[in-house]
Amino acid sequence: MWMKSGSPACKECLLVMLIIAGVTAPAARAWNDAGHLTVARIAWNHMPAGQRDAVVSILRRHPHHDQLLLKDRHADASDAEWIFIRAATWPDHVRPPRTVSRQEMETHPIYKFHRGSWHYVNFPYRSGQTLAALPSEILRGEEANGSNILEQLDLCMRLLQNDLLNDPDHAEGVTREQNKAVRLCWLFHLVGDLHQPLHVATLVDEVRFPHGAHSDQGGNLLIIRPHAGATPHKLHAFWDERLGTNSHFPAVSDLAEMLTRDPSLAPAQLPELTQNRHFRQWAAEGYQYAKTTVYHDGRFSAALAEDYEHHRITADDVPILPQAAEAAANQVARRRIVLAGYRLAGLLRQILERP
């Protein structure tokens, strides 16, 4: 049966297809492009035209405006719409291949903007712990001297609101106006990242992870199957892809509209919007979800990703998530994406309304 594009039934089918697509998707970064674009699209939809224009005006000064922000604009999107939502994916697209040396990265016109440790913060979780509050200290791992997402979100706001004029980590050869556009892209992206539970929590287990910081690196060292018959997924990738992989503009626009029209995701049904206004509080929300919905209070099984990758175990040996866990994950991801979109719009308004 054919359905008219844009109808409620058509949009419901689209969401189902997007979620199904995410079940067998390969590993990705952060929420993946589809997730980050959806966050930005929700923010776009909740800002007046004048404020949208002001944000895009800043982004047009970006050193990668033509190369990455405006690239591959979809015919259904205006330049302004495309630049706005693509800003949210820029920090992932400057990530260098593993073959690029650190020395090469520092002078490369695109890769020199990559900052790996900015995308997350590792608050430790131990299997079965009763503590649900955010730990006072973060886990320092291989990037012990690197900054983290909470520090960088705060710095982005200070720089964008002109409370701080000199960026301590600006890329070489970038003007102050260009750097403001760069920092705006980081703000878009990191607000999204902060709402992925595995960008704020990591499982600590000295037995299973005897080296380094003894953690699963935010779910990247564990592998699971969402349900019987599913392809094995790294736990982190499973969460990254909860809204699917379709990053085409019409799909993203429809998904953003569908999510924000869901009565259960209306602002009035999201008390976090008014109760939690600070980045650390947003991280605490994600940590709670990591404890209960990602790691299931320690009551779930997973295999080591390296055992599967090195063929020491087969797909059939990879544990399946507890019953209904996939549906619960989808529900949490939808809520987190909508919250991120509303909160991004709020931060952008704060920046633009600053005297």
The burial of 120, by beta-carbon neighbours within 10 Å (0-12 exposed, 13-18 middle, 19 or more buried), is given as buried
Please indicate, yes or no, if residue 122 is contained in any of the structural domains: yes
Please indicate, yes or no, if residue 1 is contained in any of the structural domains: no
Please indicate, yes or no, if residue 209 is contained in any of the structural domains: yes
For CA atoms 277, 182, 257, 33, the dihedral sign is: negative
The pLDDT score that the predictor gives to residue 140 is 82
Range 29-52 average pLDDT: 93
Range 298-310 average pLDDT: 96
pLDDT confidence tier of residue 30, bands split at 50, 70 and 90: low
The count of domains in the chain is 1
Range 241-261 average pLDDT: 96
The burial of 312, by beta-carbon neighbours within 10 Å (0-12 exposed, 13-18 middle, 19 or more buried), is given as exposed
Please indicate, yes or no, if residue 56 is contained in any of the structural domains: yes
Range 200-229 average pLDDT: 95
The pLDDT score that the predictor gives to residue 321 is 95
Range 236-241 average pLDDT: 96
Q: Which domain holds residue 114?
A: 8-353
Range 94-111 average pLDDT: 93
Q: Is the pLDDT of residue 27 over 90?
A: no
Q: Is the pLDDT of residue 23 over 60?
A: no
Q: Is the pLDDT of residue 267 over 80?
A: yes
Summarised one tens digit per residue, pLDDT across range 142-198 is 555 689 999 999 999 999 999 999 999 999 999 999 999 999 999 999 999 999 999
Q: Is the pLDDT of residue 347 over 80?
A: yes
Least confident of 16-20, 28-32, 203-207: 16-20
What is the Cα–Cα distance from 125 to 39, expressed in whole angstroms? Answer: 27
Residues 3, 14: contact at Cβ < 8 Å?
Answer: no
What is the Cα–Cα distance from 290 to 208, expressed in whole angstroms? Answer: 19
Please indicate, yes or no, if residue 168 is contained in any of the structural domains: yes
Range 60-85 average pLDDT: 96
Highest mean pLDDT among 51-55, 95-99, 296-300: 51-55
The pLDDT score that the predictor gives to residue 4 is 31
Whichever domain contains 306, its CATH number is 1.10.575.10
Least confident of 17-31, 237-251, 260-274, 279-293: 17-31
Please indicate, yes or no, if residue 3 is contained in any of the structural domains: no
Q: What percent of the chain clears pLDDT 90, i.e. is strictly above it?
A: 86
